[in-house]
Amino acid sequence: MEIRSVRGMNDLFGSELHQWAYVENQIKKIFESFGYSEIRTPALEKIEVFSGTVGNETDIVEKQMYQVVTESETYVLRPEGTASFMRAVLEHNLNATGQPGRFFYYLPMFRHERPQKGRLRQFHQFGAELINDSSPEADAELVTVLDQIYKSFGITEYRVRINSVGCNQCRGAYKETLKHFFTPKLQELCEQCQKRFERSAMRILDCKRESCREIAKTAPLITSCLCSECKSHHENFKSCLTKAQVSFEEDPYIVRGLDYYTRTAFEFTSELLGAQDALGGGGRYDGLSARFGAAAFPAVGFGLGMERLMIALQEKQKLPQFSYAPTYFFAPLGEKSFEILYSLSLQLKRQGVWCEISYDKTKALKWLLKQANRVNASYSLLLGDEELKSGIAILKNMKQGSQENIPVDSLETELLRRAHRAP
Ligand code: HAM
């Protein structure tokens, strides 16, 4: 076939989709028990939602957004959830009470990246956002929820890396210090980092190139530039994590790929994933609402990549195999039997019992029984002219191979009784 799906965007169906649904449900339950309620935002947003907020110099805004251009407007397909979330919070005054508010979302995101294992152009993210709480406990809560999600699936092979990227004040001073450090080494940096130098020097620390990493190793660290408030917030955040029994390590090179972070930044990485090793990440973004032109209020959150979690779960063989099969397969032989079993199948379906019936009335018994086996039905029900005459249908237990006669008049009651019998 010539027409195929867009590269980096996948179809999901069958047993894989059942496994996704199982994982999604478990994560939603964890969110509920931590008091997070769901929010859904549209896939298409005005470009301004991301351009001045996530940061014009970030990869996401600079080169990864899918644009939808109409005569009057340019829209983009949501590349990440936090800016959309903030747009919705401000639009609906969800922060008006000034009280902490907990939200989660589960939505597809779109980024025009080079597809590879664990890196898609349409991927799915669970996100959690906690607004109106500036405490280090709030930061620790988010890390704890993310940690709880992975642990609940039996995944332990990951590292929790934390850092503080400071506030507007101390970060300004740090950027200057960094620029000073990188100036004499500019020619040795990769082309991308040379571009980053002017406006987002901190992101050089995040470059994956070995040569840039070597240089970055000796760069001054943000830790040395944090103001006293940021320092104490970070210390308290760490002690909250210790109290919550979440193991973590400090990594001053975690700067995150989005511009809105202040103070706490964190990333969960796992060797189960390969090159794209970030399972999830997030941080505090107290200044984001101001980037929308609104009053500043505190917020902290994370994003978890569903595809990456599924890779980790597959690697660890933690995904259950689901088998969905009908309770009954009806095999009518002849027009009259078909009419009876067709209405009966509707009655049962309406009462929550899965039964299948072939609409092809020309098929012989052998074919029908083969079908019953193929769909893995627990029972098949045979009704032909002979059975109709005697008023008795034949119910075959497909697993045990046994069969019994059931009066046609009491089929509904008998089949319901068997379907609802405890296994
Ligand atoms: P992010 O680090 O860009 O953060 O994405 C979060 C997670 O989404 C990553 O750790 C990764 O698991 C997954 N992810 C990112 N890009 C891809 C991709 N192309 N294919 C598959 N998975 C991917 C954010 O998006 C922030 N909005 C998180 C946040 C929420 N910060 C505060 N609140």
**DSSP secondary structure, 3-37, as one string:** --PPTT-----HHHHHHHHHHHHHHHHHHHHTT-E
Question: pLDDT digit string (tens) for 357-379?
Answer: 999 988 899 999 999 999 999 99
- pLDDT given at position 419: 93
- Whether 303 is in the pocket of ligand 1, judged by its Cβ within 6 Å, is yes
CA–CA dist 202, 239 (Å, integer)? 26
Query: For atom 5 of ligand 1, which residue has the closest CA?
Result: 303
What residues pair up with 160 in beta bridges, in sequence order?
A: 268
Residue in this structure with the two tokens 């199948």, named with its chain if needed: 345
Which residue, among 251, 282, 236, has the nearest Cα to 137 in the 3D structure? 236
Q: How many whole angstroms from 169 Cα to the centroid of ligand 1?
A: 26
Phi, psi of 45 (to 5 degrees): -130, 160
Percent of the chain whose predicted confidence (pLDDT) is above 90: 76
Q: Give me the mean pLDDT over the 246-260 stretch.
A: 91
Query: For atom 4 of ligand 1, which residue has the closest CA?
Result: 303
- Whether 234 is in the pocket of ligand 1, judged by its Cβ within 6 Å, is no
Q: How many whole angstroms from 265 Cα to the centroid of ligand 1?
A: 13
Query: For atom 11 of ligand 1, which residue has the closest CA?
Result: 305
- pLDDT given at position 201: 84
Which residue, among 331, 310, 325, 305, has the nearest Cα to 394 in the 3D structure? 331
- Whether 305 is in the pocket of ligand 1, judged by its Cβ within 6 Å, is yes
Does residue 346 register a pLDDT over 50? yes
CA–CA dist 90, 294 (Å, integer)? 8
- Which of 131-145, 168-182, 231-245, 316-330 shows the lowest per-residue confidence on average (mean pLDDT)? 168-182
- pLDDT given at position 422: 44
User: Per residue, what are the HEC states of 229-245?
Assistant: HHHHHHHHHHHHHHHCC
Instruction: Write the DSSP symbol of residue 388.
Output: H
Does residue 30 register a pLDDT over 90? yes
Helices (H) and strands (E) in the chain, counts: 15, 16
**For 186, left (φ over 0), alpha (ψ -120 to 50), or beta?**
alpha
Which residue, among 127, 40, 39, has the nearest Cα to 306 in the 3D structure? 127
Does residue 143 register a pLDDT over 70? yes
**Strands, E assignment, 33-114:** 37-38, 44-46, 67-69, 74-77, 101-110
Half-sphere exposure of 257 (CA within 13 A, CB side): 16
- pLDDT given at position 209: 86
3-class SS at 360?
A: coil
Q: Are 80 and 129 in contact (CB under 8 A)?
A: no
Does residue 136 register a pLDDT over 70? yes
Query: For atom 24 of ligand 1, which residue has the closest CA?
Result: 303
Does residue 161 register a pLDDT over 50? yes
Residue in this structure with the two tokens 């109709």, named with its chain if needed: 388
Q: Are 247 and 160 in contact (CB under 8 A)?
A: yes
Average pLDDT, the chain: 94
pTM, rounded to two decimals:
0.91
Query: For atom 14 of ligand 1, which residue has the closest CA?
Result: 305
Q: Which atom of ligand 1 lies at the shortest distance from residue 285's CA?
A: 32
Q: How many whole angstroms from 214 Cα to the centroid of ligand 1?
A: 26
Q: Are 340 and 383 in contact (CB under 8 A)?
A: yes
Q: How many whole angstroms from 49 Cα to the centroid of ligand 1?
A: 17
CA–CA dist 268, 248 (Å, integer)? 9
- Whether 307 is in the pocket of ligand 1, judged by its Cβ within 6 Å, is yes
Q: Give me the mean pLDDT over the 407-422 stretch.
A: 91
Task: State both tokens at 82.
Answer: 């936090």
Could you tell which of 41, 62, 80 is best to mutate to test the pocket of ligand 1, judged by most ligand atoms within 8 Å of the CB? 80
CA–CA dist 139, 228 (Å, integer)? 18
- Whether 281 is in the pocket of ligand 1, judged by its Cβ within 6 Å, is yes
Q: Which atom of ligand 1 lies at the shortest distance from residue 304's CA?
A: 7
Query: For atom 6 of ligand 1, which residue has the closest CA?
Result: 303
Q: Are 149 and 302 in contact (CB under 8 A)?
A: no
3-class SS at 215?
A: helix
Q: Are 303 and 280 in contact (CB under 8 A)?
A: yes
Q: Give me the mean pLDDT over the 249-274 stretch.
A: 92
- pLDDT given at position 175: 86
- The amino acid occupying position 6 is V
Confidence of residue 191 (pLDDT cuts 50, 70, 90): confident
Does residue 119 register a pLDDT over 90? yes
Half-sphere exposure of 158 (CA within 13 A, CB side): 33
- Whether 111 is in the pocket of ligand 1, judged by its Cβ within 6 Å, is yes
CA–CA dist 352, 220 (Å, integer)? 65
- Whether 23 is in the pocket of ligand 1, judged by its Cβ within 6 Å, is no
Could you tell which of 84, 109, 268 is best to mutate to test the pocket of ligand 1, judged by most ligand atoms within 8 Å of the CB? 109
- Whether 113 is in the pocket of ligand 1, judged by its Cβ within 6 Å, is yes
3-class SS at 221?
A: coil
Q: Give me the mean pLDDT over the 270-296 stretch.
A: 95
Percent of the chain whose predicted confidence (pLDDT) is above 70: 100
> Long-range contacts: 186-190, Cβ < 8 Å, 24+?
188/215, 189/215
Q: How many whole angstroms from 305 Cα to the centroid of ligand 1?
A: 6
CA–CA dist 319, 308 (Å, integer)? 13
- Whether 55 is in the pocket of ligand 1, judged by its Cβ within 6 Å, is no
Which residue, among 273, 304, 385, 292, has the nearest Cα to 340 in the 3D structure? 385
